[in-house]
Chains A and B, each alone.
Chain A
Amino acid sequence: MNRHLWTQKKSIWGFSILLLFILMATLGPFFTQDPKAFLGTPLQAPDGNFWLGTSGQGQDVWAQMIAGARASLFSALAIGAATTLIGALLGLAGAFWGGVVDELISLLSNIFLVIPGLPLAIVIAAYLPAGNLTIALVLIATGWAWNARVFRAQALSLRQRDFVSAAIVAGESSLRLMFFEILPNMASLLLSTFLGSVIYALGAQVGLEFLGLGDISAITWGTNLYWASNDAALMTESWWTFVPTGLCIALLGFSLALLNFAIDEIADPRLQVQKIWRRRVGRVTPGLTPVVRTSV
């Protein structure tokens, strides 16, 4: 699988963009001016001094964007990891212990899936003190359900397979079975779920911060947008205060989505065969077996 991962166009693009953002997040802040300092006149258009102009408070938007990358990316990764882990554990637990435990977990995750996530998150966050921890907790609470469902479904289908029956007959304990036989087979699912969770965490976090429910004194992509909107970015036609940040969020999300597509394609062997077939046979009319006379 690894060899394929490197050669796919989608994963190359996805990786490159992701790498760019990781670099931006880790190294960027060392090369910019202080994002919190009030350096210039507010709402100045981009120029030589301030590559992306200044914010409503006179801060360097370029510096804010780069600093925001660090906070947003890393917390999205952390929240994504947490939701994946919790979802995986609960999903597997349900699939394995079956019976009442499974029914309860499934019911709970179905309920959390059907209750609208963002409104619930907003309401919970409203009661708790504003801040990053609140947001993290709220997102994890509303995000685990989807992953639990996915892992449960996969675990159930794997459970039917022969190697599991063999292990059970050999007397392996349920716990060992879950962690040493089943989990390794779910590697691609784990990765793909993780990426999806990060995308979700990124978007939802930005949304909550935009509403002012995060730590508004911190510099993140979400709070950048919060301040941009607060400082009447639209009315003053200061597009530079919100457009670049939004583009960053979209690009990062898109790169993760590309990687996800690439993993899906690799995990499905049929798609590989399809590509080879198409190369050999060329454009075909659907529904008609092609005739490719190879001279012998």
Chain B
Amino acid sequence: MMQIENLSIMMADAAGSVPIIEHLDLEIKPGEILGLAGESGCGKSTLAKALLRILPPPAYISSGRILYQGHDILDYDARAMKRFRWREAAMVFQNALNALNPVLRIREQLVDTLQAHRRLGKKEAVAIAAEWMVRVGLHVKHLEAYPHELSGGMRQRVMIAMALLLEAPLLILDEPTTALDVIVQREILQKIVELQDTQQFSVLFVTHDLPLMTAFCDRIAILYAGSIVECGQSQDIARAAQHPYTQGLMASFPSLDGQRLQKRGIAGYPPGFAAQRQGCAFLPRCPRPCAQGALRQPPLLSWTPGHQLACYQAGSAQNGIPKEYLSL
């Protein structure tokens, strides 16, 4: 449904341009929930925003294509993009309090979305808005509220309702529950899964919480240093991750049940964006550094059907997590 090919996003800086996303390839299939994982600040939100081309200056796109149903949206002009936005792809922002207009009522914000894309009378629009409020689990009376009068969880539900109003085939969730407590988090995510089940839209779920992703997503892609390093079915990633970074990530989350173990995490820091890189971006932190990695960035290749990997060490792990990542 959506194919991202060789996408690069740069950020203008005093010294020059800094790459945030480099030659990224990703595919979002129809009706699936795809998770995009990565550490804080790795560029996940940037990528999400780029799909709607709402990335603010000083960012710009420097290469690649984003193909949606065969058309490259990077070629769209402002009018075509306006039609694309929300109708074909909608987004739920992270911080609902900042994302909602503080001086307009919820009803007004939902209605203007509808009226911007469809020829609807006010009454019809309000009726549709009310329907969606109920579907996300909110009382219709909250339509008259202002954003600051609602709780965090309620605001996030409003954001979801707003995103689904036009029944777009693609829903992008940018850390939708990071600012909420775990109970509300689960409620919201379950609601999303429920709606996805009935409406069958695709979801791009951007977050840093990997275990959460393995529970809710069909496929998972791991973002490191501006490119995808691994991408596959969530069970495969959960049980048999191949890239050392993914393995490190999976190993660093403690389990809720089972033994209490001391975790190690991944030594070192993710590379800053300014560095001009030669070779594999993960090399400085890799527990099994290889000679090829020192020379060139490994390309994203198919490891098994449905499982892509960007590592020269593919296969050497053999289902086992390197002992460097194991608990003490």
Contacts and interface: CB of A to CB of B under 8 A. Distances in A.
B58 A287 contact: no
Given A287-B54, A288-B53, A288-B81, A273 B13 contact: yes
Contacts of A176: none
B78 interface: yes
Contacts of A277: 12, 57-58, 60
Given A281-B12, A289-B50, A293-B62, A274 B57 contact: yes
A220 B290 CA distance: 81
Given A272-B14, A280-B17, A289 B63 contact: no
Given A276-B14, A280-B12, A292 B78 contact: no
A87 B17 CA distance: 42
B317 interface: no
Interface string A261-296: 000000001001110111011001101111111101
B61 A292 contact: yes
A159 B56 CA distance: 31
A50 B56 CA distance: 59
Contacts of B60: 277, 280-281, 289-292
A83 B74 CA distance: 55
B55 interface: yes
A290 B53 CA distance: 8
Given A274-B57, A280-B60, A291 B12 contact: no
Contacts of B54: 287, 289
Contacts of A274: 57-58
Interface string A145-156: 000000000000
B59 interface: yes
Count chain B CB atoms within 10 A of each CB in A272, A285, A290, A296 and give the residue with the most: A290
Given A273-B13, A276-B12, A280-B12, A285 B62 contact: no
Contacts, number: 54
Contacts of A278: 57
A276 B11 CA distance: 10
A268 to B, nearest CB: 13
Contacts of B55: 289
A289 B53 contact: yes
Nearest to B53: A289
Interface in B248-301: none
B78 A288 contact: yes
Given A291-B60, A294-B62, A276 B13 contact: yes
B12 A273 contact: yes
Interface string B79-114: 001000000000000000000000000000000000
Nearest to B56: A289
Interface residues of A, number: 20
A294 B57 contact: no
A292 B62 contact: yes
B88 to A, nearest CB: 16
A293 B65 CA distance: 11
Contacts of A281: 12, 57, 60
Q: Which of B54, B58, B59, B77 has the most CB of A within 10 A?
A: B58
Residue in B14, B54, B56, B57 whose Cβ sees the most chain A Cβ within 10 Å = B57
Contacts of A272: 14
Nearest to B76: A288
Contact of B61 (A273, A291, A296): A291
A284 B63 CA distance: 17
A274 B58 CA distance: 6
B43 to A, nearest CB: 14
Contacts of B58: 273-274, 276-277
A293 B63 CA distance: 5
A91 to B, nearest CB: 29
Contacts of A287: 54, 78
B299 to A, nearest CB: 15
A128 B286 CA distance: 81
A7 to B, nearest CB: 13
A265 to B, nearest CB: 14
Interface string B1-18: 000000000001110010
8 contacts: A269-B14, A272-B14, A278-B57, A287-B54, A290-B60, A291-B62, A293-B63, A294-B63
Interface of A: 269, 272-274, 276-278, 280-281, 284-285, 287-294, 296
Given A273-B58, A277-B60, 19 more contacts: A272-B14, A273-B12, A273-B13, A274-B57, A278-B57, A281-B12, A281-B57, A285-B77, A287-B54, A288-B81, A289-B50, A289-B53, A289-B54, A289-B55, A291-B61, A293-B62, A293-B63, A294-B62, A296-B63
Interface of B: 12-14, 17, 49-50, 53-63, 74, 77-78, 81
Q: Which 10 A-B pairs have the closest CB atoms?
A: A277-B12, A277-B58, A289-B55, A289-B53, A291-B61, A285-B78, A290-B60, A291-B74, A294-B62, A277-B57
